[in-house]
Chain A
């Protein structure tokens, strides 16, 4: 089922006119609409139920959330762009599940078609693979949310308490364990910083930024030290984290 030999090289001018240009236009409009769609739930909650959080709660909550999210706003599009291309980037940052679903689907579609990633042909084929995965995941999540909501009512009180009291702690531990494997030398710094600010009883809106940015700073020092670098960026590539 490899088609690389049959598929002709796509003319750059045709590609720019008939794919890149409309993709950027549709991408900007749909991402703009998605921003508005994300404003809808808090607005609806206020208009129908008259409920809106106090400004102080919003400020603290957003501060904590952005401490976590802002590095990824910048880093993730940059990391994934070379593989996803223009259309894949627009789709992936609207629909999510990039590393676990969109990238593998693009890669499989490219492998089946026998084209290489980073080429014009590869981007077109990756676009088709990602689009299909979005259709499938949206309908699966709809059915899954309905079914899970129905199932939960049959959970015993013991099981309901297990979910309520211990699922989140286990989740934080599991994700930490997973990332500790990827960066074992940076994990102790995160734990020491977190435990220090918690034991000092500092509020989360101070403690979380200190933990996150402190870990990044320690990570930079360890990274540079272990590769014999200065703290500024350089062009040497290394095989390990």
Chain B
């Protein structure tokens, strides 16, 4: 294997492990999501009944957490749904962690997908 492939594979494995850690943290954030925020904003008219059905419980409940983490970390992103004031109901640390987690997730996940797709193409050529 070439040095370039080793670097690519190393990057892929590190970002993959980071993703697993990231998902674990998101799960913890899901459990710690302030009940007050959900009681106030996870209902009509902010969300439709279809969305409430879809994003309640297993397995898509974590997508609800994703939405609220974004709304809490970046309040302006919640304007369209009228949830821009949700951050006032959550602890400051929760909003900050949400913000950093989302930024880290996007950067890490982009690198993971990029290295994985390039690696997969390389693997097909190698085989």
A and B co-occur in one complex: no
